[in-house]
Chains A and B, each alone.
Chain A
Amino acid sequence: MRFLVVDDSSTMRRIIINTLNKLGHQEILEASNGREGMERLNASDVDMVITDWNMPEMSGIEFIRALRTVDKVKNLPVLMVTTNAAKDDIVEALRAGVNNYIVKPFTPDTFKEKIEAAIPK
């Protein structure tokens, strides 16, 4: 599987990539905000998107809304990794088109479980 990890924090991208590597995933693209994420999606084939919420230029929510309008990628599974975990946040993210939600701080086991749940059967 090829992943796109979108987060403005280089630390968080590295943590997510290390976690994906531990889970056996090696093909990973990176972007530091939603606008860059859209550019990567237009230029490459990706199987799953993992995105932060709060980012400059284009937030995670704006990014998900944008990708859901593009034929090539509109059905991609999208996981959101964020500290925004109040009930209202989750409702907003689900309405924007998130498939699953990972709350920071997280464990590798949680990550694995959420990825597996988001893979289309």
Chain B
Amino acid sequence: MQDLMVSTLVEATHEVFNTMVARELSEEAPIVGDALRPKSNVVGTVGFTGSEKGLVAFYSTLDAANEIAAAMLGMEAHEVNGEMPDAIGEVTNMIAGSFRTKMAAHGDPWAISVPTVTVGSDFYTKYVFQAERVLLPFHMKDSPLYVELILMKT
């Protein structure tokens, strides 16, 4: 099940970036566990619950987040002024939503939460529940981006 979820999440991420951000992403092999802690200033998360429970998290640098927001809104990155957190929330929402829709072909659809976005530095997200984590590294040109699947152990 986890392999299917990972490949589906990769597919959903490419789809969102190709369609709504007009950026091609390259990908690297998934990293299981929490050995790699992404150095990111912007983290979007969306929770899901149903037959599986957990979170989809999206990690980006500040510069890449501004580039994503600009591309989505049809402006230049230097013109982005306060729109970035909402844009990253929407990217995370679309990745998680597309993931949920594709996974619904294999069972009942999950419920998903509204997105939350954290902007800051030198922080790491820990979860109070026992979790399996799979980190999916991507690159948008030279900018590293990460999507993480965090599954609650039942």
**Chain A positions near chain B (C-beta within 8 angstroms):** 9-12, 14-15, 18, 54, 56, 82-89, 103-107
Contacts and interface: CB of A to CB of B under 8 A. Distances in A.
Contacts of A85: 97-98, 101
Nearest to A14: B73
Interface of B: 15-16, 18-20, 69, 72-74, 83, 86-87, 89-90, 93-94, 96-98, 100-101, 104, 108-109, 112, 114
B109 A86 contact: yes
A83 B94 contact: yes
Nearest to B69: A11
A84 B97 contact: yes
Contacts of A86: 100-101, 104, 109
Given A15-B72, A88-B108, A104-B97, 6 more contacts: A10-B86, A11-B83, A12-B90, A15-B20, A86-B104, A106-B19
Contacts of B100: 83, 86
B38 to A, nearest CB: 23
Given A10-B86, A11-B86, A83 B98 contact: yes
18 contacts: A9-B86, A9-B90, A11-B83, A11-B90, A14-B73, A15-B20, A15-B72, A83-B93, A83-B94, A83-B96, A84-B97, A85-B97, A86-B101, A88-B109, A89-B109, A104-B20, A105-B20, A107-B19
Contacts of B98: 83, 85, 104-105
